[in-house]
Amino acid sequence: MVDRQKFACRRCGACCRTKDGIVRVSDAEIARIAAFLGMSEADFIANETELAPDRRGLVLKSRADGSCAYLSPENLCLVNPVKPDKCRTFPFEWVNPDSDSVCPALRACR
């Protein structure tokens, strides 16, 4: 468990730039992100998502370098108010075994 008092995000964007990382999106997440972007859910699904590698559901599209399509050049999340739960809960409710190698702020808490 990560100590919330010790964790200080450095806003480096590394967690949104992992080459093999995926962000699955549920129906509810699709609905809220599409509404935030002023898009229909059908357009959002067609243009902003792709099939997950295991072909079970949809993930947010990544750029060629592996970064999330919603990561700004300033390392800000362009859908921050409605970002998927996986992003919102990292690194507290959700982490994976590789997270320490990705996130410098997480390593600093150990």
Task: Pick one of 30, 34, 59, 102: the residue that binds ligand SF4 (CB under 6 A).
Answer: 102
30 lies in the site for ligand SF4, by CB under 6 A: no
Query: How does DSSP classify residue 20?
Result: T
Q: How far apart are CA 43 and CA 79, in angstroms?
A: 16
Cβ nearer to ligand SF4, comparing 15 with 58: 15
Longest dimension (CA), the chain: 43
Distance in Å, CB of 42 to ligand SF4, minimum: 20
34 lies in the site for ligand SF4, by CB under 6 A: no
Identity of residue 71: L
- Give residue 99's Cα distance to chain centre: 13
11 lies in the site for ligand SF4, by CB under 6 A: yes
Interface with ligand SF4 by CB under 6 A: which range of 24-32, 35-43, 50-58, 65-73? 65-73
